[in-house]
Structure 1
Amino acid sequence: MTSKSLQPLQQPQALYKSVQDAIRDYILENELKPGSALPSETQLTKMLGVSRNSVREAVKALQLVGLIESRRGSGIFVGKFSVDPLLDNLPFSLMEDKQQFFDFLEIRRVLETGMIKTAVATITPEQIEELESLLQKMESLAQDDKRFPKEDRLFHQTIYEHLDNDTFIKLLDIFWLMFNRIVDYVDLTRQTPLEIYEKHVAIVRAIKAGDAEEAYQCMARHYDDIKLWG
Structure 2
Amino acid sequence: MPAYPTNPADELGGRLSAIPANTPAGAVASQLLAYFTSGDLAPGTRLPPERQLAQMLGTGRSAVREALAALEILGVVHIRPGSGTYLRASASELLPQTLSWGLMLGEQKVEDLVQIRAALEVLAAETAAHRAGPDNLIALQEHLTQMREHQNDYAAFVEADMLFHQEMATASGNHTLSGVLQSVRALLRIWVDRSISEEAEARDAIAEHEQVLQALTAHDPAAARSAMTSHMHTANKRLLDKDEPSVAADNHIHIPDLSAKDD
State the TM bucket, normalised to the shorter chain.
0.5 to 0.7
Q: Kindly indicate whether the alpha-carbon contact (under 8 Å) linking 1:117 and 1:212 is maintained by their aligned counterparts in 2.
A: yes
Give the aligned CA root-mean-square deviation in angstroms: 3.4
- Give the drift of 1:88: 4.5
Aligned equivalents of 2:180, 2:223: Cα separation in 1: 24
Q: Kindly indicate whether the alpha-carbon contact (under 8 Å) linking 2:128 and 2:172 is maintained by their aligned counterparts in 1.
A: yes
Q: Kindly indicate whether the alpha-carbon contact (under 8 Å) linking 2:124 and 2:177 is maintained by their aligned counterparts in 1.
A: no
In structure 2, the residue matched to 1:169 is: 178
Match 2:36 to one of 64, 76, 92: 64
TM-score computed with the length of structure 2 as normaliser:
0.51
- Give the drift of 1:104: 1.1
Which structure 1 residue ranges, 5 or more long, are not aligned?
A: 1-52, 55-59, 72-79
Q: Which has the larger radius of gyration?
A: 1
CA distance 1:83–1:213, change in 2 (3 Å): same
Aligned equivalents of 1:61, 1:122: Cα separation in 2: 36
Aligned equivalents of 1:175, 1:61: Cα separation in 2: 17
Match 1:115 to one of 107, 124, 128: 124
TM-score computed with the length of structure 1 as normaliser:
0.57
In structure 2, the residue matched to 1:182 is: 191
- Give the drift of 1:177: 2.9
- Give the drift of 1:63: 6.2
* Structure 2 SS opposite 1:210: coil
Aligned equivalents of 2:193, 2:216: Cα separation in 1: 32
In structure 2, the residue matched to 1:92 is: 103
Identity %: 21
Which structure 2 residue ranges, 5 or more long, are not aligned?
A: 1-13, 16-31, 43-89, 241-263
Aligned equivalents of 1:149, 1:81: Cα separation in 2: 26
- Give the drift of 1:206: 0.8
* Structure 2 SS opposite 1:93: coil
- Give the drift of 1:182: 2.9
Aligned equivalents of 1:220, 1:90: Cα separation in 2: 24
User: Amino acid of the residue matched to residue 182 of structure 1?
Assistant: W
> Following superposition of structure 1 onto structure 2, how do residues 182-201 of structure 1 map, counting pairs within 5 Å?
182=191, 192-201=201-210
**Within the alignment, does 1:222 sit opposite 2:231 as a pair?**
yes
* Structure 1 SS opposite 2:150: helix
- Give the drift of 1:189: 8.4
In structure 1, the residue matched to 2:146 is: 137
CA distance 1:101–1:70, change in 2 (3 Å): closer
Q: Kindly indicate whether the alpha-carbon contact (under 8 Å) linking 1:134 and 1:151 is maintained by their aligned counterparts in 2.
A: yes
Q: Kindly indicate whether the alpha-carbon contact (under 8 Å) linking 1:203 and 1:218 is maintained by their aligned counterparts in 2.
A: yes
Match 1:205 to one of 193, 210, 214: 214
User: Amino acid of the residue matched to residue 227 of structure 1?
Assistant: N
**Within the alignment, does 1:83 sit opposite 2:84 as a pair?**
no
Count of residue pairs the alignment pairs up: 160
